[in-house]
Chain A
Amino acid sequence: MVSLTRRPPIVDKATQDLLRPLLGRSRAFYLFAGLLTILVTWFLYTWYLQLTLGLGVTAMRTPVGAAWGVYIAQFVFFVGLAHGGIAVAAAIRLLKLKNYAPVGRMGEVLTVISLAMAGLSITVDMGRPDRVFNLVLYWPFRIGTSPLSWDVTVIIIYFTLSAGFLWLTLRRDLAELAGRFPRLAPLYRLLSIGYRPDENAKTEKMAWWLSIAICFLIVMLSGGVVPWIFGLMSSRPGWFSALAGPYFLTAAISSAIAAVIAVAAILRKVYRWQPYLGPQVFKGLGTFLGVATMFYVYMIFAEQLTMRYSAPISEFMVSEILFDGAYAGLFWPMVLLGFILPSLVLLGQAFRPKWFSITRTAVAASVIVVAFWIKRFLIVVPSLLRPLLPFPQGSYTPSWVEWSIVAGILALAVLLFTLFLKVFPIMEIEKHE
């Protein structure tokens, strides 16, 4: 029987450093968490307003206008983000990339939180969120034809496996640290229930198998059921395309890797983890991000060419909205400054190692994340503004309610991540075999 003494186990300096977030809360932390809590409270209030007054408080309208807006854009954005984390964690295990191990867990946490926020974004967009259980109730009858049913199903599978994966890989650290943090010990012991050191080999093998499953689900989710909600709609020029799958998948992987880079860089700075998160991690991820983003620019080019060369007038008009119309002021800066410039910077760093800097990589990654948020918006809305029948051209500028809710959900994501940081070890403790 393991002895339940209060004496903390002897830890080396490395472990002490990695546990820094758990060891105390600074004023900066309280300020930060406080600000986020205010944003989240404001989000809850505006959501309450929206529930009682109806979705009319948004700028969404139909048929002249956009039936979907920033909420759905944010949903797609969060589903995409949910891939990077777990993709890195999976790659570490499958390709034996030991160097990237430090960012593995923060990626997994990013995944689980992003998926939850994706679900919240969808719920906020529903006219009758009180009937969300109908999705379950009528599932057997609708799973044959409804892309939304497919979506809900695959997201639940993906969330379950990702959360399970996180739990599996967290157990060992929790079991070993339970003695060190008496206040958290009950939680740690519950989550690491049944842990015995001889299970580590099995856990590693399980994580390996699950990594493959999760990578496969990434393709089927962000390159599958989510884009098919758009790509299968022959009613919407601009959406209706076989490219939707690979398009969304590339966007997901790119934005997610960018988010991992940004988060890792921030944590490294805040908790002084320079010795543990060396430049190799950022170099590798940065190069990958540069290539992926440039590949995405190629896809934008291919898509717009197809919509303009000899296309039906409906497709052409949707492209015009981006090139020359209401959203040109968003589209061009996004492509040039949000995608091309940062990816050139990242690729330049890859070709000339002398130019490399973690800060520059993190800044480029952050710009790319924001650019991808804008891109999701530009995927969802323009096609809805130009229906097939000659309705007058609509417009869509999100209302203050929508901005409040969007900001609030983002704040909630950051808040949850920060809380996780403070309760669980975000970096894997070095194993003493």
Chain B
Amino acid sequence: MTSITRRRFLMYAAGAVGLGLIARYSGVASALARPGAKQPATTEGGNAVVPPKPGHADRKYSQDAFDTTADPANKFGLVIDVGACIGCRRCMWACKQENNIPDTISPLWIETFQLDAETDLTGHPSMDELRQGATTSYIESPTAGHWYLPVQCQHCDNPPCVKVCPTGATYKAADGPVLMDYQKCIGCRLCVVACPYSARRFNWQKPSVPADQVNPLVPVRPIGVVEKCTLCTHRTRRGQLPRCVEVCPVNARHFGNLNDPQSEASRILKDNMSFRLLEELNTQPSIRYITRGKKWSA
């Protein structure tokens, strides 16, 4: 072996290492420096808006950057009364407005099934519905012989989506909800596949929301990332209700801190038998369903 080639080899090696260091750090830098999301402004009602926390650039797309910090003493949960739900989907559309969900995301974060009330009163879909599927795109509601089951992210305490995420883009916040850091998401969709409730959505196209309709409290997502219900942490951590709970015309949705026995959700659960979807999968959802109040009949 000649010494010329050995020298050349060492040059190549040194160059490769140098290039490696440059690429590594430039890659990281460009991954962190994303074009900015909309800067928040004051809302129309004059409520002061908490600006995103300064600091690490990649927090721009995390819900946490737009909210107050999560208080681990809280454990937010939702109670949905399928006896009262009339399937009007006002919750779905209000959620779309509130969370800057673009038209390219379909279906929306909340999906409502129209299920057959004649054959199955257990609060679960019937065998035929599990076989063939049930409609989520009914036109009129409520109609006789049906009950309505709204499904969104269940904010599980043992979330399969959080386990499988290879970058930690989805995480369980200290106060209960399962949230997204859109900056970390690489769009692999393993979480979409892992979720037994099919609650997660993906930005197959670049989302765009008209500028005058953007809610400055919620990040506008970039292309190619997963999104889903956030339990409106930008509202609930400021003492407001999630938007879906606020707009329900028949009071079928109840929100509260499950750690607080005086919260609305806790009080309702004390007085009603409740069930959770796909309980046997051990996902421990934070959303419970009850069937109190009159069942809808024609």
Residues on A facing B (Cβ under 8 Å): 1-2, 4, 53-56, 58, 60-64, 67-68, 125-135, 137-138, 141-142, 145-149, 152, 189-190, 193-196, 229, 233-236, 313-314, 317, 384, 387-393
B129 touches A128 (CB 8 A): no
A131 touches B31 (CB 8 A): yes
Beyond A233-B194, A384-B193, A391-B136, is A62–B130 a contact (Cβ under 8 Å)? no
C-alpha spacing A208/B232, complex, angstroms: 59
B75 to chain A, nearest CB (A): 22
C-alpha spacing A67/B277, complex, angstroms: 22
Contact of A131 among B160, B186, B198 (CB under 8 A): B186
Contact of B193 among A53, A68, A137 (CB under 8 A): A68
**Additional pairs, 20, CB under 8 Å, beyond known A2-B2, A388-B196, A392-B137:** A54-B206, A55-B187, A68-B189, A127-B189, A127-B202, A128-B187, A134-B167, A135-B166, A135-B167, A137-B28, A137-B167, A138-B168, A146-B166, A147-B190, A148-B164, A148-B188, A193-B6, A234-B281, A313-B127, A390-B125
B168 to chain A, nearest CB (A): 5
A221 to chain B, nearest CB (A): 17
A128 touches B6 (CB 8 A): no
Q: B185 at the A/B interface (Cβ < 8 Å)? A: yes
Q: B248 at the A/B interface (Cβ < 8 Å)? A: no
C-alpha spacing A137/B196, complex, angstroms: 28
Among A125, A128, A148, A152, find the residue whose CB has the most chain B CB atoms closer than 10 A: A128
B178 to chain A, nearest CB (A): 14
A67 touches B189 (CB 8 A): yes
Contact of A149 among B134, B166, B195, B202 (CB under 8 A): B166
Q: B205 at the A/B interface (Cβ < 8 Å)? A: yes
A393 touches B132 (CB 8 A): yes
A54 touches B223 (CB 8 A): yes
Chain B interface SS verdict (over half): loop
A141 touches B113 (CB 8 A): no
Contact of A63 among B131, B198, B224 (CB under 8 A): B198
Chain A interface SS verdict (over half): loop
A127 touches B160 (CB 8 A): no
B131 touches A313 (CB 8 A): yes
The size bracket of the interface on B is 35 or more
Q: Which residues of chain B from 183 to 228 have a CB within 8 Å of any chain A CB?
A: 184-190, 192-206, 222-226
Q: B53 at the A/B interface (Cβ < 8 Å)? A: no
Binary A-proximity of B1-32 (CB < 8 A = 1, otherwise 0): 11001101100100000000000000110010
B136 touches A67 (CB 8 A): no
Q: B70 at the A/B interface (Cβ < 8 Å)? A: no
Shortest 4 CB-CB distances between A and B: which pairs?
A127-B187, A127-B224, A56-B204, A63-B198
Q: B151 at the A/B interface (Cβ < 8 Å)? A: yes
Beyond A234-B160, A235-B196, is A392–B188 a contact (Cβ under 8 Å)? no
B124 to chain A, nearest CB (A): 9
Q: B163 at the A/B interface (Cβ < 8 Å)? A: yes
A31 to chain B, nearest CB (A): 35
A2 touches B1 (CB 8 A): yes
Q: B104 at the A/B interface (Cβ < 8 Å)? A: yes
A53 touches B188 (CB 8 A): no
Binary A-proximity of B130-165 (CB < 8 A = 1, otherwise 0): 111111110000000000000100000000101111
B225 touches A235 (CB 8 A): no
Beyond A127-B224, A392-B136, is A190–B9 a contact (Cβ under 8 Å)? yes
